Every structure is written in structure tokens, then in C-alpha cells.
Amino acid sequence: MARSRAAYEYTEAEDKSMRLGFFLIAAGLLSLLGLGCCWLRPALQERGGGGSANCTVLAVRQLGERFACTFSCGAACRGTARYPCLQVLVRTSRSAAPALLHEDERQLRTNPKCSYIPPCARDDQENSENVTYKQKYWKEKVGSQPFTCYFNQHLRPDDVMLKRTHDETVLLHCFLWPVVTFLVGVLIVVLTICAKSLAIRAEAIKKKKH
């Protein structure tokens, strides 16, 4: 009985392998749950009711209003600078009403009044030059050429985005890596159990021969 009981007990290496497998399974499930609640659900809500369209520039202008941004010049060095507000008004193929263009959802949330937020520099003049360069880009290089933009009729009917922060690739990775972690954990547990079962059978066959 003692030998039979010992045969069914896992060795230290097998026990560690089982623990690793269960840890990966739990980590995969918790990652899916956490990403689904904290990140994936808001991302899908942003995408819900949205789509792509062709946009054409109607007007490019700078407002007199300036906005604050925070620059960093080292580990313990931070400050505030200001930049002018650039607005790019476009017409979409889905609607005749003008819409305000934004870089992406993140920029829209940061400053819904403007179309562009420059990299924050300490010098206000440098920030103004960056905005002026972007203004010339939309006026001279893009002009009346149509380009693809993205909209969300439910959340922001009067705004369009040049690109999406949460695209299909990001959503795929949000699902892919937790699922891979879960499957690797399941594979480790199954292989450990199968290896133990084969070892027990081999031991039993060896005893029968003797």
C-alpha cells in the first residue's frame, strides 16, 4: 500500500510544474477579466456606433485662445507652457455639416476644442512654431485632397478622428496574450498529469514482469 500511495504522489518537480500551470491559468483568467472591465469595454464603447468616412478640409484656423501644457526637463524638473489652438474643420462623406478634426480619441479627451496638441516645449514660441507648421501642412500639403477619418455618431457627432487609439490590432492583443497564458497553463497541467499517468503505468507493467 505504501509503495502504491508513493507511486501516485507527485514529485517535487511535478508539484512545481502543476503550481506553475495553475498560476498561468489563474493569471490568464484574471487578465481577461481585468482587461475586459477596465480597458476593453470602454474601447468597444468608443468604437460602438462609429465608422470610417472620407474627409475634406474646409478651413484651417488658429484661435486667439491659448492652452496650457506640461513639459518635463528632467526627473525633478517640470513646468507649464502654452500653445495656440489650431482647428481643422472638415466635411465628411456621411454628413454635410462641418466637423472638427482631432488626432485621435486621446487628444480629443485632452483638449476637445483643438485639432492638434504639439509636443510640449518649455518655450512658448517653439510651441507656436509647431502649431504653425501643422497649420501649413493641412493647408498646403493636404488641401482639398480627401483622406480617411473616423467618427462616432453616438459619443461625438460633431468631431472626427484622424486615427483610432483602439484599433483592431490593439483589441486583438488584448484578447490574445491572456488566452495564450491560459492555454499554456492548461497545457502544462495536462502534460504533467499525462506524464505522471504514463510513469505509473510503466511502473505497474514493470512490476508485473518481475
- How confident is the model over 127-165, as pLDDT tens digits? 999 999 999 999 988 888 899 888 776 667 788 888 876
pLDDT over threshold 60, residue 44 = no
> Residue 53: in which H helix or E strand, if any?
strand 50-74
Cell of 91: 466635411
Region 12-33 average pLDDT? 86
Degrees to nearest 5, angle at CA 70 with 67 and 75: 175
pTM of the model: 0.59
Instruction: Specify whether the CB–CB gap between 121 and 81 falls below 8 A.
Output: yes
**What pLDDT sits at residue 113?**
92
C-alpha to C-alpha distance for 131 and 117, rounded to whole angstroms: 8
pLDDT over threshold 50, residue 3 = no
pLDDT over threshold 60, residue 47 = no
Helix axes 168-209, 12-35, angle to 10 degrees: 160
- How confident is the model over 170-210, as pLDDT tens digits? 666 677 788 888 999 999 999 988 888 888 888 777 777 76
**Residue 167: which pLDDT band, with cuts at 50, 70 and 90?**
low
The domain spans of the chain are 19-35+170-209, 49-166
3-state secondary structure of 199: helix
Average pLDDT, the chain: 81
Closest CA relative to residue 89, chosen from 81, 78, 97: 97
Instruction: Specify whether the CB–CB gap between 71 and 121 falls below 8 A.
Output: yes
